[in-house]
Amino acid sequence: MKRFLPLVLLTAVAIVVAIVVVGVSAASSHLTEAPPQPVAFPHSLHVSDLELECAFCHRNADKTVEAGLPPVEICMFCHSVVGAGNPEIEKVRAAFASQKPIDWTRVYRVPDIVRFTHEPHIRAQLDCSNCHGDVAKMTTARPAGPLGMAQCIGCHRERGAPTDCSYCHY
């Protein structure tokens, strides 16, 4: 074990250097409000009133790296029929007709130096609301609060998840 120690230390130093060098430009700004979106999509109506599951639109949260934002085809499942004439829904139909994806603005984004995947978190039985707040009551998604290194490590400590730099940093 002892003879690996220098290697471990070297790796740790390399990670810190890499992060500091890249981190300066990657220093993220956390949003404090919902960003303007191209379509005024109400989560509240679709989740609370229509009782759609989060996974109906965010299909990959438990499987792949990205929870994913829904392609317009998923909206057209209903909006090819529902809501003609509603100006916000007409934007959705126009996007589908012209085959132009709706260019949603991201609310949460970790910088490139950070490794985050949903899958282990969903497997550990966390709820979406642990990190994203009560989205079912929101219209367009707004940040529940900052989700930076302090929040990640705080919860990892609380729940006995790893806190080594190398788990979260490339």
- Contact positions with ligand HEC (CB under 6 A) in 50-109: 50, 52, 54, 56-58, 61, 66-70, 74-75, 77-79, 82-83, 86, 88-89, 92, 104, 106-109
- And the tokens for 77? 């499942």
CA distances from 67 to 56, 109, 135 (A): 11, 12, 14
**Sequence-distant contacts of 132-136: CB under 8 A, at least 24 apart:** 132/108, 135/43, 135/47, 135/54, 136/43, 136/44, 136/47, 136/48
Does 45 participate in binding ligand HEC (rule CB under 6 A)?
Answer: yes
- And the tokens for 54? 């989060």
Q: How far is the CB of 49 from ligand HEC (least distance, A)?
A: 8
Q: How far is the CB of 35 from ligand HEC (least distance, A)?
A: 8
Q: Of the two residues 6 and 87, which places its CB atom closer to ligand HEC in the complex?
A: 87
Query: Contact at 8 Å (CB) between 118 and 61?
Result: yes
Q: Which positions from 116 through 135 interact with ligand HEC, judged by CB under 6 A?
A: 116, 118, 120-122, 124, 126, 128, 130-132, 135
Q: Nearest Cα to 65, choosing from 126, 111, 117? A: 117
Q: How far is the CB of 71 from ligand HEC (least distance, A)?
A: 8
Q: Of the two residues 1 and 133, which places its CB atom closer to ligand HEC in the complex?
A: 133
